[in-house]
Amino acid sequence: MARLGLLTFHRVQNFGATLQAWSMVQLLGRHGEVSVLDYPTMHEASRHRRRGLRALIPSPGRWLFDRFISRLPLTERLPDAAAIADHVARGGYSALVCGSDQVWLAAPDQPLDAPFLLDFGREDGVPRISYAPSCGPIGDFGPHADRVRDAISRFHAISVRDAYSKRLVEGLGIRPIALVADPTLVADLSPLAGSRPRRRPYLALVGPHGASDAALARRIAALRGLEVIAVGARSVGGIPSHRFISPARWTSLIAHADFVMTSLFHGTALSIAFRRSFLSLGAANRGFKIVDLLGRLGAPDRLVGQVDEAVIADADRLAECPYDAIEPRLSSWIDSSRRYLDASICSAFASSPLARVA
């Protein structure tokens, strides 16, 4: 059986990152055995480290994430590029895949996390594929441009998640680049959805939000006869909160919601994947991703920027979320994304050193 190695953001304490990793495993698993290369990212060890007296108290959120992550098909821990290179050299991989999420966020003022470019500092001959990586909100690759160009230009097949990342990579002189859907839109998430988690109809307010967002949520909920719950974040204004939950529970609360309001890209993506009525909220560094996604699906009006009294007064219109315009574009994009991935993997298998030996 062919073996694929996946390098992605899987040890990040972030619902979207963890779920896209799970989704990538499902998509790649159609082609062979999948191993998630257990590299934690250059910065992750310190990002969620507790300080002071809090360091002595176990984090319930971290425990729930670690439990979910442990069910992925992980390799041994690979702390750096040298360890990854050694593992790949003896791993018998037919192809390596990176993506999705912001694995190509090569911030000019930060060290380059080269493993996410599948650049381990050593030639191994294994074909490389990218599926739906994003460069995030960076303006350019700065001092990393030459190394990024050299690494990506050696890929067997290249795709990205958003038009902004496509322009950045094309700016390095690299083509062709496919624009594909986030894996949470393509994979079957139903195993995580489970049964309905609440008896009463509810509006899920997903991600960070402010008082005006909560007021709009209450207004839409009143129009539709729903109660409001906050999902995966600290609540505002006394709204009941489901804050410390697993990625599977987060998925379930979105999948069965009667309406979703979210400030998160993956909150938007999962709402669409489960065909939930939704409204996305503008967010500083996340806004461009949501704009790109909704623009691609012909639904830019499902995003509101700053929530003020005028927006709240327009709640009657915002409470309606027809999928008539979204569905044809979504189905077509999912199909083309799946075809890109399937064709890229089959072509990579045919050109891999293992195929030549066989």
Q: Check whether residue 167 and residue 208 sit in a common domain.
A: no
pLDDT at 41: 83
Q: How far apart are CA 91 and CA 301, in angstroms?
A: 48
Give the total residue count for the chain.
358
Q: Check whether residue 309 and residue 204 sit in a common domain.
A: yes
Predicted confidence (pLDDT) at residue 356 exceeds the cutoff of 80: no
- Count H helices and E strands in the chain, helices first: 16, 13
Residue among 94, 116, 96, 95 nearest 105 (CA): 116
Q: Check whether residue 126 and residue 198 sit in a common domain.
A: no
Query: What are the beta bridge partners of residue 260?
Result: 204, 278
Predicted confidence (pLDDT) at residue 48 exceeds the cutoff of 60: no
Per-residue pLDDT, averaged over 139-145, amounts to 96
**CB contact set of 73 (below 8 Å; sequence gap of 6+):** 25, 33, 34, 35, 36
Q: Where are the alpha helices (DSSP H) in 256-308?
A: 265-273, 287-296
Confidence of residue 272 (pLDDT cuts 50, 70, 90): very high
Position of tokens 């979210």? 262
Q: Check whether residue 27 and residue 169 sit in a common domain.
A: yes
Q: Check whether residue 295 and residue 349 sit in a common domain.
A: no
Q: Check whether residue 194 and residue 113 sit in a common domain.
A: no
pLDDT per position as a tens digit, 160-210: 999 999 999 999 999 999 999 999 999 999 999 999 999 999 999 999 999
pLDDT at 321: 95
Burial of 291 (0-12, 13-18, 19+ CB in 10 A): middle
- For residues 223 and 123, the model is more confident at 223
Distances (CA, A) of 246 to 7, 30, 141, 240: 22, 26, 34, 17
Q: What is the mean pLDDT of the chain?
A: 93
> What is the separation of C-alpha 180 from the centre of its chain, rounded to a whole number of angstroms?
12
For residue 46, is the peptide bond before it cis, meaning its omega torsion is within 30 degrees of 0? Answer: no
Q: Quick check: is 328 in a domain?
A: no
Q: Quick check: is 326 in a domain?
A: no
Q: Check whether residue 254 and residue 347 sit in a common domain.
A: no
- For residues 170 and 59, the model is more confident at 170
Q: What angle do CA 24, 34, 179 make, to 5 degrees?
A: 30
Judge contact between 254 and 271, C-beta under 8 A. yes
Q: How far apart are CA 16 and CA 99, in angstroms?
A: 13
- For residues 224 and 356, the model is more confident at 224
Q: Check whether residue 165 and residue 230 sit in a common domain.
A: no
pTM over 0.85: yes
Q: Check whether residue 195 and residue 182 sit in a common domain.
A: no
Confidence of residue 56 (pLDDT cuts 50, 70, 90): low
Q: Quick check: is 88 in a domain?
A: yes
Q: Check whether residue 67 and residue 181 sit in a common domain.
A: yes
pLDDT at 265: 96
Query: What are the beta bridge partners of residue 202?
Result: 227
Residue among 8, 5, 3 nearest 183 (CA): 8
pLDDT at 53: 57
**CB contact set of 6 (below 8 Å; sequence gap of 6+):** 21, 24, 25, 28, 34, 35, 36, 37, 96, 97, 98
- For residues 305 and 323, the model is more confident at 323
Q: Check whether residue 25 and residue 144 sit in a common domain.
A: yes
Kind plus residue range of the DSSP H or E element containing 40? none
pLDDT at 358: 46
The CATH number covering residue 276 comes to 3.40.50.2000
User: Domain limits at 195?
Assistant: 190-321
pLDDT at 357: 45
Q: How far apart are CA 283 and CA 329, in angstroms?
A: 25
Per-residue pLDDT, averaged over 18-39, amounts to 98
Judge contact between 208 and 231, C-beta under 8 A. no
Token duo for residue 186:
């393509």
Judge contact between 325 and 299, C-beta under 8 A. yes
- For residues 316 and 52, the model is more confident at 316
- Count of domains forming the chain: 2
Question: Hey, what amino acid is at 139?
Answer: G
Judge contact between 116 and 98, C-beta under 8 A. yes
Predicted confidence (pLDDT) at residue 8 exceeds the cutoff of 90: yes
Q: Check whether residue 245 and residue 160 sit in a common domain.
A: no
